[in-house]
Structure 1
Amino acid sequence: MKTVAAISLFILTGIVTALWFGFDLSEATDSLNYDDEQEGIEDKVVIKFSHVVAENTPKGRAARRFASLIHERTDGDIKVEIYSNGTLYNDQNEYDALKNGHIQMIAPATSKLTERFPKWQVLDLPFAFPNYQAVEEAYEGTIGRTLLDQLEPNVKGMTFWYNGYKQMTSSDQPMILPSDFNRTHVRIMPSPVIESQFHALGASTTQMPFNKTYNNLEVDFINGQENTLSNIYSKNLYKEQDYLTISDHGYLGYVVLMNDEFWSKLSNEHQAIITQALEETTDWIKRHSIEINDTHLRQIKRTASLDVHYLTKKQRVLWKEAVTPVYEETEPIVGESLMQEIYRLQEKYQ
């Protein structure tokens, strides 16, 4: 019994010693250190902004500028997380992701909405806008308001962003005359008007996500594509092409969309800050998109061996004549009022 008692005493002594020397019981009674990073964490608002182009393009730079303005004016209460280059969603599934609330903000090319909302095809008409002033009046006037009204529930149209006129590239021959499009296989965005335009010129087409364009040029599945100079340069498309035609045959712009359920839950103060930041960013991209595209053209000329051709007035007339049937096909789809507005802008700025 003495042995058992001695062992029990030894174990008890060890436990008491461990508690006394091995643990600082004062720490257990003190309050936890304050973590200021956790302050108001439930009040933070996160906007996931997904887009598919490079960060050094007009849209990429505008997205970063918008995010910076929001951070500055909300003291970090709203954080805009930007996912560029299609890292989160590509241009085929970003709209559904927005509508279902998986992301809060996207800025797709207007052409990407034409299959869902046919009236949006009016913006894809070839040679629709004679100059940048015509584009601005279309986006900020009757055409823009009409198109934003077409959007479905839970998708809120915020503004239009600018990029630039589209140009043609090819690996087989320079695209100068309409006949040069014969036997050319061109990558296009999913727009019936764009498809009709290239068919009218004699080319075959394939619709594919923007971020798959380079690989398909590389393996010669396609041998031509249309895009702005900023996209041609930033995605290295020019490295797989031999000819560049400055054609200005169509305009590529974006519409900034937000999940409406997310928007409606924001405070009035936050809504006002976002609206103001978008207005300032839209003004910035309107002024700087031309400069960015011009800079990228100069960089292409310095670093590539492309044959660059500028359409003459006579060649432009031939292109316009070739695509005239596209206007006739499109009017019953977009409606007479929108077509008349296009004709008005053309007459005003021609």
Structure 2
Amino acid sequence: MKRDLTIEDVEPALIGGAILGGGGGGIVETGREAVRVAMEVGTPQLWSADEFAEDDLTATIALVGAPAAPNPLVLPRHMLRTLELLREQLPPHQRLAALHCNENGAYTTFNGWLHSALTGLPIIDFACNGRAQPTSVMGGMGLHLRENYQSLQAFAGGHPDNYVEGVLTGALESTSDLVRRASVAAGGWIGVARNPVTVGYAMENGAPGAISQAIELGRVHIEGGVEATAKHLGGRIVAEGTVKDFRLVPSGGRDHGLVALDNAEATTVHFINEYMVLTHDGARISRFPELIMTFAEDGRPVTSGEIAVGDRITVMVAPVESLILSKTMFMPDLYEPLEQSIGFRFAPGTEDLAHA
């Protein structure tokens, strides 16, 4: 199916994306501003995967950086510059037929909407992953497993005094690491266009239907609030309380920290951009890629970078079965740097070990 994305889609996509961001994926107000620009300059189109040939080419549109970075700047012209740089590197016989986002989030669900509005390239109802994740390799659709695969990544962003742009080719993990370093040099965020793949490969290894899921979930939340959202996702509200401890340390282009509540169960959530592990009443009861999400007292979804001591929040969890996830979410080796940062193992298929 082909359809225009309209203003009626914006708020549901924003709210649903924020919830599926699981603490990351960009801040709500930043996402609202980004999509406002996209809707003012044109009409982005959303196409289902069956509108394309399997060998048609699509590219990932993404933002890379730390959500709480103090001085980022990624303008529309920076985002379009990344697409221009990427297209210049394609072989003469190849052309992009579509674009897709890297993940769901308050900002990241809208990755590609501006490009579609200005270039006419459609957005596929697809994301590399249907929830937000903290590393580019996790959103890389398993490309790191392809023998001799060479990643292609174009990036741009920053204020005039720290603006960076460029194109990298090489091993997926190496180029992703360099792009993340570029985001730090640019003040915290950069726009990225990367890793052209065939539609057939994307559908097999990513999260088809992710954009529609975000819009549907957003409508549920707008109409029914947090309880309706938890029910829709087959999840539950775990805790409510006041934030008594909040720690956030930017490191390596990501936000690392924890949120602790004053409730009797001593609910604590560790995050690396996204919420990673939830401890409640002395037990670790939820861990990434399960969805852990926080909501303000008025029901608004709030990300890890927006929380402060004294805030009253609600914590919801939802199972992986309710999410549209990439295969990379179940690759334990991709969790190793995250586990080293937090201090214990939590990858799927591994035992939930005590603190190191």
- TM tier, shorter chain? under 0.3
Q: Which has the larger radius of gyration?
A: 1
TM-score, with structure 1 as normaliser = 0.26
TM-score, with structure 2 as normaliser = 0.26
Report the structure, 1 or 2, having the larger strand content: 2
